[in-house]
Amino acid sequence: MAAIEITNLTRSFDGLKAVDGLTLRIDKGEIFGLVGPDGAGKTTTLRMLCGLLNPDYGQATVAGHDTVREAEAVRDRIGYMAQRFGMYPDLTVEENMIFYADLFGVTGEARRRLMTDLLRMTRMEPFRKRQAAKLSGGMKQKLALMCSLLHRPEVLFLDEPTNGVDPVSRRDFWRILYQLVRDGLTVLVATAYLDEAERCNRVGLMHRGKLIRVDAPKVLRASLAEPCYAVSAPDARAVGAALRETPGVVSADPAGAEMHVFFDPRRTTLEAVRSAAGADAVFREILPSLEDVFIALIRKQEAA
């Protein structure tokens, strides 16, 4: 059963297409990652799916309701966590939760039980009396997540939820998401972190408003016909520059102290690429990361 169904969704700003013909289906109980750099169209997509922004054309349904004609019904069934921290800094954790529960009409015993469950799940019980302004970055994100879950939404939209958060808090945040999904929640997370996208059931790679590939992370890593090599050399920058000028090389981009290189075996050979890199370069074939695949796909798209 589809929790989100999108058909040819398009939105422009000042003549520039922020989202260009997006078509996608996300099943109930799935964690789907919408991945791309800044300006790819991720936030615009989420805002349209939340009923906060109308598309120029195309349509989408969320939890069975049209995002334009039934925007209020959509908002009743979703949780939305924006990029910026939206809690009230002068209120405590508990006061923020009570305020948002009141907005959603959650009162009495249902509110008390849900707040208790959320505080326990996020390990925020010891900080319930602390002002939001005095929370760490990871705790602020947990508070925002709790407030977006107080009305038991069917679908949760997260816009770069762990941006600027330390690695331990990021791992803790994802632990909470997995637990929520086991309880039946559907999650659409927009992120620029490719390592974070590896945690999703499926990933949509987005570039310049277009969805260029959709699949499970493991499938995406093995999806390219071009082999990937880690190349180390005394002067990796010079080797990278030489390889980018070599016919048949799809991409050559830094990855730590090495270069990760894709080449098209229909247009060149490993021997020719080695020769272009120079005698000091050492080649090692590797399984590419999701980031490697995304960069290679973008380079292929730009070349085409």
* Domain residue ranges of the chain, discontinuous segments joined by +: 2-215, 228-287
Q: Which residues pair with 283 in a beta bridge?
A: 231
Identical fold for domains 2-215 and 228-287, yes or no, is no
Half-sphere exposure of 38 (CA within 13 A, CB side): 2
Neighbours of 276 (CB within 10 A): 20
Q: Does domain 228-287 have CATH number 3.10.580.10?
A: no
| Strands 31-35, 186-191: pairing kind | parallel
At 213 the pLDDT is: 93
CA pair distance 110, 28, nearest whole angstrom: 24
Question: In this structure, are strands 258-263 and 228-232 parallel, antiparallel, or unpaired?
Answer: antiparallel
* pLDDT number for residue 193: 83
Options 3.30.70.20, 3.40.50.300, 3.40.50.2000, 3.30.70.600; CATH of 2-215 = 3.40.50.300
What's the pLDDT score for residue 162? 82
Give 35-46 as a 3 state SS string. Answer: ECCCCCCHHHHH
Report, as ranges of residue numbers, the positions in the chain whose pLDDT lies below 50.
Answer: none
State residue 85's pLDDT score. 72
Indicate the helix (H) or strand (E) that contains 197. Answer: helix 194-197
List the Cα angle 171/173/175 in 5-degree steps. Answer: 70
Confidence at residue 275, expressed as pLDDT on a 0 to 100 scale: 95
Contact 29, 184 (CB under 8 A): yes
Residue 125's SS3 state is helix
pLDDT value for 15:
87
- pLDDT the model gives residue 266: 92
Other CB atoms within 10 Å distance of the CB of residue 1 = 7
Residue 304 has a pLDDT of 72
